[in-house]
Chain A
């Protein structure tokens, strides 16, 4: 705990008060009043002193606490109260401390008015020092001066036994006791010392010459009169005649003697100190001069001194060099002249800040005398006098314009560099020698998913899948040994890995960068080639498919640049036509065109170019390797720039096989035509040559019957009749066969066919051939009118079907024949239905066979060709025909027609 005069004085008061209390308790006069004939310190006074002592102890230099304030106010109020008791009848507070009711005793227990006034003054002074304000401290000190004079006089009185100095009522024993006086003096000294830096104590305790003198003179001036008054009071006590004036004169004479001695001593000391000071000042001036010279000679730095207002009062060569101002130009002018106009107020702020912080540094622009700017680094420090009071500033300025320019260039170039890196289409990462990332651009963080901060300082291996990290480190070390720019290598596909552990293919190019410290760093530019690889794969796939398609189609793709006449050929082209390189020319391509075809093809090619047409030609070429003749179909189109042909792009197809097939087909066709002709000739001769004998048989049978009939018996006639009948049947067969073969040879002549009419006609024709009494109910439902076919042929087919329907329903009482159309398997299907004898579905496969019959000639006449002809006709119409039946339950025939007009 630090020693403090304030609290020490408080404690001292408390100790003295406890002695007083002890004195009252044990009836020890010395403790209460020192001597019997002096007034005693009352208990009330003691209490007030104790409270003042406590306040002092609690003082800590700051604002007083609540208890201190309370004690201050209470003490003041109590003191005023008791003071008023002397004049007015009031309840007697001092009775709290005593039981005596005797007025005299009572009065002697009351603190004297001097004591009370002193206490009030002390209380007020303490209150004033309760707030940390210099002005109130001054008032407090004034109060202290006033207050301390009272106990001072009292002590003076005690010592010289001169009662008016300590009491106004000597007869009543009321007065300021010596102990109270001492306590009060201690208290006032304590209050003085509440803040030893302020006011009188500051002066007294400070290092100033005045303070020093006060420390020597004051105790003497204060204490010596006391000693003298005691001496005079004590030595002349026995002489009651010695009056007051003598005592005062004696005291004053002694005092004057001593004071003179003190003044002489003081004068001596002051002279001595002044001399010391003068010497010091001279030394200081010399040193300042030297310092000024040194400062002046410094030309690298501008060193100027400013007064407190910022006016220049010292100017060195450096300042002249840097600013262009001569000392004469600038001295006594504000240093803000050196600052650019727009720095408005900044010079003053700098000075303020220098004062507040002891030093200020600034970097910025300044203006030369000629108006040009320069870049400086300035340090401004305040200058203090010996009392630590600021008296000015020194400003040291370094011209950094050149350095600033270099720096700016550097910054600009760095900025440019960074911008460049940010604007590159690739991710950029810079790695130092230790493989740690020192820089990355936006794209890099986007590509790998790390923020830029997460990159910096991390090993580059974090961007590489774990399994490659080791080998990468080796690569890096290897690279650092022989650093050189390395471009993206298409063949070297590397893998990168993102923060999310997603791998992707990358392409990396490296280039070494040398830092200012000549340390090597590696700039890696990284490109995500996922898309490219995908596209490349797709492209390869596409080309592969193209080649496959070409192979499958026996085609070769080519592109001819019509300017340079250079041709690019697909792989399949060269393999198809026996070339040996993908590069050729028009000459190379046309060189193997078959000689006979060359002129025609060449003409057509050039005509196509000229007329902006597609070029298509079939011709022959000689295989460039084997020389074999190949048939090709060449298709191409041309691209133009306006009218200037640029390119021919086409496919050349090897159609040798087709050609051979075509030739084979042509040959077959020729053969077929020949066969057909033969067949025609055959049927011709059949119709002629086979019929003639038949007619002869019937004719001569008849002739025999007519001319020789009378010689034949019945049996002979019957046999002749059988011969004739069979001949007729034979004739019918021949007719049908001829019809069948004619139909199979004939081509369809298509037109809209009225089926309704055809059925009607067929019915009418066959009905008329039947006996008159035959009952037939013919129902013809509406039929569509948009059927297309060969009406002659369809007439034949329908006639045959109708003939069958009528023929096979002959056994019925009433034949029911119905014609209509329906939908079978989503196809429009016509039908003709009868209620005739029908057929067994087991034999349905024989229905449409030539000469195939399901009924005997005896029951139903016929050749077995009718339905075969029907089927032939319907098939020619791309339709189908089929029958459904059950024996004796009628039959139904369906057919479809699918021909249409194109």
Chain B
């Protein structure tokens, strides 16, 4: 059980790219890019239900791996992942931790991540597409795909993390 939480993160890290192989999807003559954000959604859940510091540490490690393995710009995801986790963890005091609220918050944060990345790649001119095209081709399809994923698996994450929290509490009593 102790290693289950990082193990799930590793599996999600590898699964992201396998799902990326399906994208882009051609639909009505338009291409829709679906970006899987499984890992960061999991990390957001982790920082809300488990431990902000731990989530930020995982964010840093996986962000660094992401940077080196996929995009060769070190420092981009290794900053953004812990940053998103930090925001998510900071909201704990102010919001109700119902699954519905957490899901909405996670999706909002992922949208934020996508927009920041778009602005960054626009800045270094890796992409030239205007914002409206980004919205239609990338952001909306991505958000739909990720919300389906999160609705399917969000409660599993919550269950998994809460079991771990309970286990930890029991251990400290013993």
* Physical interaction between A and B: no
